Structure 1
Amino acid sequence: MTEFFMPMKPPTATHQEKKVTIVNGKPVFYEPDDLKAARAKLTAHLGQHVPEKKYTGALRVIVKWLFPITPSSKHYDGEWKKTKPDTHNLNKLPFDIMTELGYWTDDAIVASEIIEKFWADHPGIYVKIEEL
């Protein structure tokens, strides 16, 4: 099992925000600056927790996204976050990064995902990986 907490303001840019432009009549996909920044931030944090051995079997991954409460906010610590980004978009970028960093052979082995998002006094991202 691998379990860790990354204290940070979680990025809100998701993998689905890639852009497309036309070069020489052909579409070319690229990452806008906010997505590049999110990738760099997550890579730096996730790189500190790479397991010694790649996971190869079926996995359950629990990810809890804790977004910061601003002073003017009416939210409270532990309150469910009901606004964007959507939970189904949150894990794509970190899972791709975790694959690149060698957490597992391929993120297709993640057979179970639990994704939650909250408002929190101490923002960050909690990750737990367990073999099934």
Structure 2
Amino acid sequence: MEFFIPMVPPTITHQEKKVRVVNGKPIFYEPEKLKTARQKLMAYLGYHVPEEPFHTGVQLVTKWCFPRGRHKDGDYRLTKPDTDNLQKLLKDCMTVIGFWDDDALVASEVVEKFWAEIPGIYIKVTEL
């Protein structure tokens, strides 16, 4: 399966969880921006959920296309956010809404991030 989500990809990542101490114990929470990004991503992904989740290993190819601004269309984005942090949020969302049984099934990943005329996220999932 493969699809393109036309959206401005989130730049806030899973790594940006916050912590506060209550009664001497750390309590982790998501800031509002992260919650909003997660909800938006899950809403877009919801249109592409497979009828049956993947139960075996998969390869996940992801191309993150950020609004190009003054950059050339197709140039690699060499600034934050890091690809591993982008992928963590994406795979968590894909797991929650039922793309696969567990994101541990993603045994192969190809991740790229670009500056693009048309922003969005290209996703391809292939059974291994």
Normalised to the residue count of structure 1, the TM-score between the two structures is: 0.95
CA distance in 2, matches of 1:44, 1:88: 21
RMSD (CA atoms): 0.7
CA distance in 1, matches of 2:6, 2:53: 24
Q: CA deviation at 1:93?
A: 0.8
Give the Cα separation in 2 of the matches to 1:99 and 1:112: 16
Residue 90 (1) aligns with residue 86 (2): yes
**For residue 109 of structure 1, what is the aligned residue in structure 2?**
105
Q: Does 1:99 align with 2:98?
A: no
Paired residues in the alignment total 128
Structure 2: segments with no counterpart, 5+ residues = none
1:8 maps to 7
TM-score normalised by L of structure 2: 0.97
Counterpart check, 1:49 vs 2:13: no
Residue matched to 1:63:
62
Specify the SS of the correspondent of 2:42. Answer: helix
**CA displacement at 1:12 relative to structure 2:** 0.3
Runs of 4+ in structure 1 off by over 2 angstroms are none
The Cα of 1:16 is off from its aligned counterpart by 0.6
Inter-partner Cα distance in structure 1 for 2:34 and 2:5 = 18
The 2-side partners of 1:47 and 1:98 are apart by 9
Q: Which amino acid aligns with 1:128?
A: K
Q: Which residue of 2 aligns with 1:81?
A: 77
Unpaired segments ≥5 residues, structure 1: none
Q: Following TM superposition, by how much is the alpha carbon of 1:89 offset from its aligned partner in structure 2, in angstroms? A: 1.2
Aligned to 2:22: 23
- Give me the whole-angstrom Cα distance separating, in 2, the residues matched to 1:118 and 1:3: 18
Q: For residues 53 and 40 of structure 2, what CA distance do their matches in structure 1 show?
A: 22
Is 2:120 the partner of 1:121? no
**How far off is 1:21 after superposition?**
0.3
Cα distance in 2 for partners of 1:106, 1:118 equals 28
Q: SS of 1:102's equivalent?
A: coil
